[in-house]
Amino acid sequence: MASIVIRPDVFHELDEIEIWYEQQQAGLANQFRDAFSKTLDRIQHQPNTFPITSPGIHRIEMKGFPYAVFYHPHDNEVVVLHVMHKRRNPQRWPIIKTSDT
């Protein structure tokens, strides 16, 4: 089983998402965090199963929320690179690099 490494900027993305959800409905941020945790479990157990979006970068959609997690499996670890809304224009996504890992 691969270990999960989350880049520091992902924590910032998660904080912004959770603040927004908590403003919409009390407790919704906790539901989002649970969905993210379950997504990490799925990645950890089957890192190479999910679609490749660019060389070395995989994407998995979160269940119950309109977000996707982008990650890079490398040796015995998986580096989480970004968490992004699925309706966001892909041309406006930040450049995802595995070299920053």
- Give 40-93 pLDDT, tens digit per residue: 999 999 999 999 988 889 999 999 999 999 999 988 999 999 999 988 766 555
Type of residue found at 63? K
Going by C-beta distance under 8 Å and a sequence separation of 6 or more, which residues neighbour residue 18? 29, 32, 33
Higher pLDDT, 67 or 1: 67
Using alpha carbons only, give the angle 68, 55, 74 rounded to the nearest 5 degrees: 80
Of the candidates 30, 13, 7, the one whose C-alpha atom is nearest the C-alpha of residue 83 is 13
Residue 14's pLDDT is what?
Answer: 97
Is the model's pTM score more than 0.85?
Answer: yes
Residue 39's pLDDT is what?
Answer: 98
Q: What is the pLDDT of residues 20-47, one digit of tens each?
A: 999 999 999 999 999 999 999 999 999 9
All domains of the chain, ordered by start, with CATH?
3-92 (3.30.2310.20)
Instruction: Grade residue 101 by pLDDT with cuts at 50, 70 and 90.
Output: very low
